[in-house]
């Protein structure tokens, strides 16, 4: 029997509004969990009746974090409907905009949204700066590099800065942490490294935002992508723009390799006991044996695939991230993704509707039924009814997880050379078994592996763009006859966003959108139960997790953060009824 009921509302350091409820037993182990989005947005609804050429500009407002992703996917959906293949330059430019978003997004996630689940800021105050410099050497060496910050002087200075905040009783951006929680496992020196890189990452991420703006026009919300191609005609012809992009990429890559990766090794190793419930070797895993550490969850991983590597067409091209689905963490098998098998269910979501619907026929009809309220005013879920604004996506009548981990797992299962190389190198350098990937820590590691891969491959793409332009190909747009192609058609933009598989489905009649549905990464992961009562990815990942101190549910936050939630995307007006802001309660 569940003994205690934990409510974390809102979960902070995410985008949007998310509430997690968990039941823990007498051993403080989570035995049940509910993920609930308490915000609603109606972008799918307002797209109806619009000109499909404008869809991208409206759809991009779904989110400002995966900025430009919805914009591009929406446009790709319209291009699919119109049968348009974009020119090479446009393909590479789009890859560069999205690729720099991945690096930006993953780095900001690790340091500014997730690191403090591992790093105890206050503990950093008892660090010895000289020992900290040695410790930084150690983890940089594991990552096969040298530390981003060398010498004890810089660490001493950071320590001084944080000490000043603490002395004045104002921790600022570090306020309200669970500092001192016994489930923090880093040493004071390791914590100081984490804090130092956190602060530095605030500067570095600005450069990454600039990279997106070079070909995107601006950031957030780039605006150089149009149905048929891109508009940054002058930028691709200006060698200084490409050089600037490469320069910023070089600086960012240095931080990724010398700070981000060593820090992931450091955190991953110190928290490795949570990741390696299973002792399976790589070979055993290839045979489908032994999966799942703390936070493993569903263990079904899906990727639509993304980053077109040639110009044969959107759904024909070779891909940087292959598409596929792996069930039960069994990487010896991988199935093709069939878009026909995607459906959304609203049994536990605040919408009208009965059976799961394919996105082409999907509906978004709000039906808010609220949360139960206790006498003391705390809202509780009506657990057998509707409890979230997020719909429940289903693939082939199964619940799946999407995201960087899914992309790496599918890549390895597909025996993709590049992905397998980056994943095995990462594991080998850290002397880690592949089973660590199927956990909270593994989800975080997979994101870092993907970041390194992306930073490296973008250099090749920038060179490919420069060479193609130098060879005289200046084409950036494919012409189409709107009046002919928009009579009656439909299309889908199925690709990947930083947080996972993203699909935009559009139906068009007589030049107007008649139905529009987006099924988004955080919709897959943060979804509530489905019509068969099967848990969503966040919910499943919490089951079995031990919460050391229920008054400070650090482990819940760490696992949920490992998905990098974006609830704005997931539900695409905030409802404050029946909801208390800033409530954390157990009873
Ligand atoms: Ni709002 Fe997004 C990404 C998309 S989210 S951040 O990545 O699509 O789930
Ligand atoms: Mg949707």
DSSP 113: I
Can you give the pLDDT at residue 23?
A: 87
Ligand 1 proximity of 232 Cβ (cutoff 6 Å): no
Ligand 1 proximity of 450 Cβ (cutoff 6 Å): no
Please confirm, yes or no, whether 63 is among the known catalytic residues.
yes
Question: Which burial class, exposed, middle or buried, applies to 74 when counting CB atoms under 10 A from its CB (0-12, 13-18, 19+)?
Answer: buried
Can you give the pLDDT at residue 278?
A: 47
Cα 538 to middle of ligand 2, angstroms: 18
Numbered residues of the known binding site: 44, 63, 66, 566, 569, 572
Ligand 1 proximity of 521 Cβ (cutoff 6 Å): yes
Length of the chain: 587
Task: Delimit the domains of the chain by residue range.
Answer: 4-563
Ligand 1 proximity of 522 Cβ (cutoff 6 Å): yes
Question: Ligand 1 atom closest to Cα of 498?
Answer: 7
Return the ligand number nearest the Cα of 108.
1
Ligand 1 proximity of 15 Cβ (cutoff 6 Å): yes
Q: Give every CB contact of residue 200 below 8 A, 6+ residues apart in sequence.
A: 148, 149, 255, 259
Ligand 1 proximity of 569 Cβ (cutoff 6 Å): yes
The backbone region for 68, taken as left when phi is positive above 0, alpha when psi lies in -120 to 50, beta otherwise, is left
Minimal CA–CA distance to 127: which of 95, 159, 153, 105?
159
Please confirm, yes or no, whether 284 is among the known catalytic residues.
no
- 244-248, long-range: CB within 8 Å, 24+ apart, which pairs? 244/214, 245/96, 245/100, 245/211, 245/214, 245/215, 245/462, 246/459, 246/462, 248/207, 248/208, 248/210, 248/211, 248/214
**What string of DSSP letters covers 342-357?**
EEEE-TTBSB--SS-B
Can you give the pLDDT at residue 294?
A: 81
Active-site hit among 499, 504, 529, 558: 499
Please confirm, yes or no, whether 499 is among the known catalytic residues.
yes
Cα 521 to middle of ligand 1, angstroms: 6
User: Alpha-carbon torsion 495, 496, 501, 502, what sign?
Assistant: negative
Please confirm, yes or no, whether 475 is among the known catalytic residues.
no
Question: Ligand 1 atom closest to Cα of 569?
Answer: 1
Query: How far apart are the C-alpha atoms of 438 and 296, rounded to whole Å?
Result: 5
Can you give the pLDDT at residue 275?
A: 66
Q: What residues pair up with 230 in beta bridges, in sequence order?
A: 225
Ligand 1 proximity of 6 Cβ (cutoff 6 Å): no
Can you give the pLDDT at residue 276?
A: 60
Sheet of 500-509, strand order: 488-497, 500-509, 512-519
Ligand 1 proximity of 536 Cβ (cutoff 6 Å): no
Query: How far apart are the C-alpha atoms of 209 and 230, rounded to whole Å?
Result: 19
SS3 (DSSP) at 304: coil
Number of H helices, E strands in the chain: 20, 17
Active-site hit among 17, 41, 70, 399: 70
Q: Where are the beta strands (DSSP E) in 102-241?
A: 225-226, 229-230
* CATH classification code of 4-563: 1.10.645.10
Q: Give the HSE-up count for residue 474: Cα atoms under 13 Å, Cβ half-sphere.
A: 6
Active-site hit among 522, 539, 541, 558: 522
Q: What is the pLDDT along the chain (587 residues), one digit of tens a residue?
A: 446 788 888 888 888 888 898 888 898 988 889 998 877 777 888 999 999 999 999 999 998 888 899 999 999 999 999 999 999 999 999 999 999 999 999 999 999 999 999 999 999 999 999 999 999 999 999 999 999 999 999 999 999 998 988 888 777 777 777 888 888 999 999 999 999 999 999 999 999 999 999 999 999 999 999 999 999 999 999 999 999 999 999 999 999 999 999 999 999 888 877 766 544 444 444 444 445 678 889 999 999 999 999 999 999 999 999 999 999 888 999 999 999 999 999 999 999 998 999 999 998 899 988 877 665 555 566 666 899 999 999 999 999 999 999 999 999 999 999 999 999 999 988 887 777 888 898 999 999 999 999 999 999 999 999 999 999 999 999 999 999 999 999 999 999 999 999 999 999 999 999 999 999 999 999 999 999 999 999 999 998 888 888 888 989 999 999 999 998 888 763 333 333 333 445 54
User: What ipTM was reported for this prediction?
Assistant: 0.94
Cα 236 to middle of ligand 1, angstroms: 27
SS3 (DSSP) at 69: helix
Please confirm, yes or no, whether 232 is among the known catalytic residues.
no
Helices (H), 480-564: 482-485, 521-526, 537-542, 554-561
Kindly list the distances between the CA atom of residue 413 and the CA atoms of 252, 331, 408, 448, in Å, as whole numbers in the listed order: 29, 5, 9, 19
The Cα angle at residue 197 between residues 192 and 198, in degrees rounded to 5: 95
The backbone region for 333, taken as left when phi is positive above 0, alpha when psi lies in -120 to 50, beta otherwise, is beta
Query: How many C-beta atoms surround the C-beta of residue 571 within 10 A?
Result: 27
> Cα–chain-centroid distance for residue 429?
25
Active-site hit among 19, 35, 63, 541: 63
DSSP 13: S
Instruction: State both tokens at 134.
Output: 């040695």
**What string of DSSP letters covers 402-425?**
-SHHHHHHHHHHTT-HHHHHHHHH
Atom 2 of ligand 1, residue of closest alpha carbon: 66
Q: Is 573 within 8 Å of 39 (Cβ atoms)? A: yes
Numbered residues of the known binding site for Fe cation: 66, 569
Q: Give every CB contact of residue 109 below 8 A, 6+ residues apart in sequence.
A: 447, 564
């Amino acid at each position: 029997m569940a003994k205690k009921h934990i409510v974390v509302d809102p979960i902070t350091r995410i985008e949007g509004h998310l509430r997690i409820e968990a039941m823990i037993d007498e051993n403080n182990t989570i035995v049940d969990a509910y993920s609930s989005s308490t915000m609603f947005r109606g972008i799918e609804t307002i797209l109806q009746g619009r000109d499909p050429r404008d869809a991208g500009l409206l759809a991009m407002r779904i989110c400002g974090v995966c900025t430009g992703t919805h914009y591009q996917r929406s446009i790709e959906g319209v291009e699919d409907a119109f049968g348009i293949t974009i020119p090479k330059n446009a393909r590479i430019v789009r890859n560069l905009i999205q690729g720099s978003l991945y690096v930006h997004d993953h780095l900001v996630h690790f340091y500014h949204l997730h690191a403090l689940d591992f790093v105890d800021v206050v503990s950093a105050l008892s660090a010895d700066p000289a020992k900290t410099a040695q410790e930084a050497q150690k983890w940089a060496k594991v990552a096969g590099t040298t530390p981003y910050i060398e010498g004890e002087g810089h660490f001493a200075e950071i320590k001084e800065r944080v000490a000043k905040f603490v002395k004045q009783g104002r921790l600022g951006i570090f306020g309200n942490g669970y500092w001192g929680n016994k489930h923090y496992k880093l040493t004071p020196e390791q914590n100081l490294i984490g804090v130092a890189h956190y602060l530095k990452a605030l500067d570095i991420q600005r450069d990454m935002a600039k990279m997106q703006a070079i070909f995107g026009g601006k950031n957030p919300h780039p605006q150089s992508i149009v149905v048929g191609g891109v508009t940054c005609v002058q930028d691709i012809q200006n060698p200084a723009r490409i050089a600037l992009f490469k320069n910023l990429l070089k600086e960012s890559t240095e931080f990724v390799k010398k700070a981000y990766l060593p820090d992931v090794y450091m955190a991953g190793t110190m928290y490795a006991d949570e990741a390696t419930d299973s002792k399976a070797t790589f070979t055993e895993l290839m045979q489908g044996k032994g999966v799942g550490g703390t936070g493993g969850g569903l263990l079904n991983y899906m990727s639509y695939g993304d980053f077109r590597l040639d110009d044969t067409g959107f759904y024909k091209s070779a891909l940087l991230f292959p598409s596929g689905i792996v069930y039960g963490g069994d990487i010896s098998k991988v199935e093709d993704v069939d878009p026909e098998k995607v459906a959304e269910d609203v049994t536990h979501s605040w919408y009208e509707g009965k059976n799961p619907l394919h996105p082409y026929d999907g509906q978004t009809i709000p039906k808010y039924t609220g949360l139960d309220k206790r006498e003391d005013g705390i809202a509780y879920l009506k657990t057998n009814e509707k409890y979230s604004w997020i719909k429940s996506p289903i693939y082939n009548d199964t619940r799946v997880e999407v995201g960087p981990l899914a992309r790496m797992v599918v890549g390895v299962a597909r025996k993709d050379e590049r992905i397998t190389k980056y994943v095995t190198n990462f594991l080998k350098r850290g002397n880690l078994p592949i089973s660590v990937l199927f956990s909270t820590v593994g989800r975080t590691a997979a994101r870092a592996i993907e970041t390194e891969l992306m930073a490296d491959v973008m250099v090749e793409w920038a060179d490919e763009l420069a060479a193609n332009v130098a060879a005289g190909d200046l084409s950036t747009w494919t012409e189409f006859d709107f009046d002919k192609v928009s009579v009656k058609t439909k299309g889908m933009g199925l690709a990947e966003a930083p947080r996972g598989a993203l699909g935009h489905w559009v139906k068009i009649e007589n030049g107007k959108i008649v139905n529009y549905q987006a099924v988004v990464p955080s919709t897959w992961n943060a979804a509530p139960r489905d019509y068969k009562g099967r848990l969503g990815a966040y919910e499943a990942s919490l089951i079995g997790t031990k919460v050391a101190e229920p008054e400070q549910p650090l482990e819940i936050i760490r696992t949920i953060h490992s998905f990098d939630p974006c609830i704005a995307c997931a539900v695409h007006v905030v409802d404050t009824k029946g909801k208390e802001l800033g409530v954390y309660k157990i009873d």
